[in-house]
Structure 1
Amino acid sequence: MPVYSMTGFASASAAPVTESDTVAPGVTVEVRTVNSRFLDIAFRLPDELRQAEPALRELLTAALRRGKVELRAAVGRAADDALPQPTPEQLNRLSRLESSVQGWLPKAQPLSVHEALQWCRGGSAAAVPAALDELVQQAAKAAIDSLKQARAREGKRLVAMLLDRIGTLRTLAAQAAPLVPAVVQKQQQRFLERWQEALASAGDSGHGVSAEAARDRALGEAAAFAIRIDVAEELTRLSAHLDEIERLLKAGGELGKRLDFLIQELHREANTLGSKSAALELTGISVDMKVLIEQMREQVQNIE
């Protein structure tokens, strides 16, 4: 299954097929999405398309799982429909209505030419295609299909980037693994040297401390130090999280929330790795890991 980004834009239009030479008005739909924790849908519809909102919401909820979605729709006007042509019957009726209103409300303002034309346009509801709802759904379906394709292309790029970061994190983990034994061995040698110096000092002062006891004490402190700075468990968990992220990315589908949780776990392991660091090289590796994980977190937030 493809991995979808939550960021995308698409538009589509639909127009009725007419047998005459006149160009009937069509419908244009634009859909824009950005990232969000949940599916948040907003509509920007003209009055003549308000009744289509429930059907449009059903189309969006069936196609999308997460993201902040804005759907805009507009009804085009035919070239000969730019200015309505009032009929005598319409003008007669409008005149009677205006006279009736002014009879009851003497202070009412007379109708302007623009208001009269707007009334004639609205009053001729039959001029609006009866299949306007069907047109807006047709345009919306096409726009949503294009949007999903755009989101899939962006998702593919996100997957490639995340897999690249996973490879770099694996390389850093491989570099960190042999550093701890080297640090432990070096620290063990320091403990032995310190206890040898203490042993020599005790011998000079007359206090008897056996060489074997001093060596055992030094090795014991070295072992405690090794346990304290051991990061094998963190590296193992980090590798397991990377394996799971890679598996999810290759499987595809709706995985944004699971990836977000795994990224938090990766960040936790990198933090622990840094807190246990006993070598400058290990600190540098921890910092590099945090930078990569933060880059992954930003991109994962865009995945559906």
Structure 2
Amino acid sequence: MNVQSMTGFARREGTTGRHRWVWELRSVNGKGLDLRLRLPSGFEGLEVEVRKLISSRLNRGNLQVSLNVSVAEARVEAVLNREALAAVQALRTELGDLVDPAPLKLDSLLAIRGLVDFREVEENEAAAEARDRAILEGLEQALDELVAMRLSEGVALAAILSGHVRTIADLTQRVESDPSRSTEEIARRLGQQIALLTEATTGLDRDRLYAEAALLATKADLREEIDRLKAHVAAADDLLAKGGPIGRKLDFLAQEFNRESNTICSKSNAAAVTAAGLELKVVIDQFREQVQNLE
């Protein structure tokens, strides 16, 4: 399963019967799946199916989805208000010789307000169902385009992230192999510090001093941080290889990477290790920034 970005755009349009429809889908980064749907009046009944289709294809992202529908061929019908016509005829009979006995003309009838209403012909149930089905099929096609764009960008992001993980692995190896971490170097440095203290200060308990030095040496050891960094590198590689919606998991790993790099910098007693730790922090920041774009 490929890694998918959260950004993309798709547009799909078509006609069905006398209706022309246009779908536009815009997707940007989001913590979850946040769908903002805009449907034209008369098409609110599609909302449930639209949300179902989108949630079946996407897991994360802020989506703006809009549908525009226009009528390519307007069909109008005249609707006669028969009650009003009966009232007009009754009034004419009542007035008798006071009005012109000639038959009422069409233009006279049309001039009477509310007697005849012109309105757009409503779709019958079968035609409306066929129209809605075609519109939803158009949404599925638009989703195909959107997912394809997100997947394409996801491939590029995965390559960038893999490069960052390799750099983190290399910097971790540099810290691990630094000469300052060898047992001999640690012993030599501690010996020098103890010698300076014992020469400059009288009354120190030599055994207690060595015990405290050993404790400090243990606290300054980076073995645990290095092992955890290696484990996080392996986990990131595994996630990128499996693909799918891995953005949240990689974001958690980025936080763990950052935690270990901070500890390395705080515990470091060598310039080269500190420099590697600072480089780690820079790469991890870049890694986390790119992870924010993944589904």
TM-score normalised by length of structure 1:
0.75
Structure 1 residue 275, shift from structure 2 partner:
1.5
The answer for the alignment partner of 2:109 in structure 1 is none
Residue 268 of structure 1, aligned match among 259, 263, 288: 259
The answer for the alignment partner of 2:37 in structure 1 is 43
Structure 1 residue 141, shift from structure 2 partner:
0.3
1:124 aligns to 2:118 (yes or no): no
| Structure 2 unpaired stretches of 5+ | 89-116
The answer for the alignment partner of 2:3 in structure 1 is 3
The answer for the alignment partner of 2:192 in structure 1 is 190
The answer for the alignment partner of 1:153 in structure 2 is 152
CA contact (8 A) 1:191 1:218 kept: no
Residue 281 of structure 1, aligned match among 269, 272, 283: 272
Structure 1 residue 126, shift from structure 2 partner:
3.3
Distance in 2, matches of 1:86 and 1:259, equals 59
Structure 1 residue 137, shift from structure 2 partner:
0.3
Residue 300 of structure 1, aligned match among 288, 291, 294: 291
Distance in 2, matches of 1:9 and 1:171, equals 37
1:143-186, Cα deviation, whole Å (9 max, x unpaired): 01111111111111111111100111111111111334256245
Distance in 2, matches of 1:196 and 1:43, equals 76
| Structure 1 unpaired stretches of 5+ | 19-23, 101-118
Structure 1 residue 224, shift from structure 2 partner:
2.9
Say if 1:258 and 1:85 are closer, same or farther in 2 by CA, change over 3 A: closer
1:172 aligns to 2:171 (yes or no): yes
Structure 1 residue 268, shift from structure 2 partner:
1.2
Distance in 1, matches of 2:244 and 2:139, equals 23
Percent same amino acid among aligned pairs?
33
- Aligned-partner residue type, residue 39 of structure 2: L
The structure with the greater share of residues assigned to strand is 2
State the secondary structure of the residue aligned to 2:36. strand
TM-score normalised by length of structure 2:
0.77
Number of residues paired by the alignment?
A: 261
Structure 1 residue 222, shift from structure 2 partner:
4.3
CA RMSD of aligned residues (A): 3.2
Say if 1:228 and 1:52 are closer, same or farther in 2 by CA, change over 3 A: same
Moved over 3 A (4+): 84-87, 126-129, 195-198, 216-222
Structure 1 residue 253, shift from structure 2 partner:
1.6
- Aligned-partner residue type, residue 138 of structure 2: A
